[in-house]
Structures are given as C-alpha cells and as structure tokens.
Amino acid sequence: MILQVSVSTRRTTVSQDTWARLAGPLQADDEAVLSIIRDRYLHPPSTLPYTNSNRSRDIIGSTDFTWPWIHKHLAHLFGDQQRGFFVEAGALDGVYLSNTLWLERNLGWSGLLIEPDVKSYSALLTKHRKVWSSNTCLSSEPYPKTTVLVSRRVVEKTIVDVSYWWAFRGRTHELRDDQPYSEELESRTDSSYSIVQCFPLLSYLLALNVSTVDLLSLDIQGTEPLVLRPILASKRVSLRVIVVEDELKRMNQSHMETQGYQLVASNIDQIYIKKGDPLLYRMANFTA
C-alpha cells in the first residue's frame, strides 16, 4: 500500500491569541495549532534531483559513531519493506549520519525531518530530500512552546574535516538546567542562542494525517524521554520502532515496558519495538 500524505497549502485565518499562545500552553491536537503547522512550519517534499547523487549509495559519516550498529539493525528490520513512514528529529543537514535517507532513496519511504538549527536546516533543504521537513523542535511538554536553542559550531573549522564539523553541530540542544557541562565541548565550539518554536510530536503527525510511524529516530541531546512520554500516553498514533540516542542515560526501560515497548538492542543508542508487532519475531534470531 502506498502511503499518501496530503497537506493543504491554503492559508488559514488564525486568531492573534492563538499565535501568542504558541509559547504554551495549547493542546497538541488543537485544530488551530494543526493549521499553523500545516501553513507555516511544514516544508513539502522536494521535486528536484538529490544534490548528493555522486554518493548515492553512501550516507556521509556512515562509518562513524554508532551509525553502522543502528543501520545493521534497521536494515534487518526494514530491508525488504517498500514504503513506510519515518520521523527523524535531529536531522542536521539531512545526510550526515542520517538513519532515514536510505529508507527514502532505496525503499521509497516518506517521512518527516525535524531540525531546529537554522544553518543546519538551510543545508538540509539543499539536499532535496523527498519528504516533509520542519525548522522547529520537538516539544519536551505535551503542548507547543518556545524555547532557547543552543547551537554549537566548531571554533577552528579549518582544522577538522567536514564530518567532524557536523558532529559538533549535532550537539545543538534545548537550553536546559539538566544538560551536562563538557569542558572539551565548550573549548572547541562557539555557542549561539536563538528562540525556536517547538511542537509535540503528536501535533506534527495529526497535521500530516499520519496514524502509523514505522520508524521514529530521536537524537535530541537528552530530551528524548520527555518527548516520548506524551505521545506514548496518548495512544492516538502507533509507533512501531523507536531508535533513541541515550548517551546521557535518561531512558527508563521500565516506563517503556509499561507503555508497550520492548527493548531489543542497546548501545549508546537504544532500539525499542512495539509489543505484538511482527518485527519482534524478526529480531528473535538476529545477531548484531
């Protein structure tokens, strides 16, 4: 079955009060919120050729960090599934360490890329991905909000290769009191601060009329558990496979179990599969 996602390009009239309250709180499924997302915060799939066609079989950074480990598991789970829908938050430039580009290019998946950093998102648009994208962030609350984004950039860009530069950009995060301090990170990067709009994951999916997400990939520097809690509690959208970076050890496996998800692989990243999903049986005899 081919998944079809349609979003109206009609500009809707939204009250000034609603715009003001995007800083929070409004309900995640508020129709005015969904209209604003559709009209102002979703960029449609590109119809232009990919710009990284000279590396059509490679994901930049595909030998780095935990990408090979994640890809091996996802290829086993989804390698023969034509069509599907993914969400990747912390998408950077849409190519570097992407967990979803191969699904889009090789298997015809559609999806949503979320990247709050303006410069990273500008680079993402130049890649001409064939999926929806948004220059916003996932809300750590069950309602839309604005927050302060800390963007990281390498101080001496000329002394590091492009991939390493993007790795530092991947350290961009919401400004929170519980973010650990890294002297090495502070010494090698410049930090800039901006106000960004955030929406609950549920809001994006309702705006896109998506009820099943085959793969949710989260790399958002420690806010993963906060983003997951409201959408798992809502039960309005089915998330089949969830990949989360857990470098800060904040994921609660017991909570995920109570929400109906089984941990099937753990590294710096964790992979969960919804209980009862046929993909669990596929993992039974998998050797990483």
Could you give the CA distance from residue 183 to residue 233 in angstroms, rounded to a whole number?
Answer: 37
Q: For the chain, which residues make up each domain, given as ranges?
A: 42-141+200-283, 146-194
What string of pLDDT tens digits covers the 288 residues of the chain? Answer: 334 444 444 455 677 777 777 877 889 999 999 999 999 999 999 999 998 654 444 566 666 678 899 999 999 999 999 999 999 999 989 998 899 999 999 999 999 999 999 988 999 999 999 999 999 999 999 999 998 888 777 665 554 455 555 555 556 666 666 665 556 656 666 777 888 999 999 999 999 999 999 999 999 878 899 999 999 999 899 999 999 988 778 899 999 999 999 999 999 899 999 999 999 999 887 776
Q: Whose structure tokens read 């595909």?
A: 62
Residue 26 and residue 16: Cα distance in Å, rounded?
A: 14
What is the value of pTM for the model shown?
A: 0.85
| CATH number 3.40.50.300 is the correct assignment for the domain at 42-141+200-283 | no
Element (H, E) at 185: helix 183-188
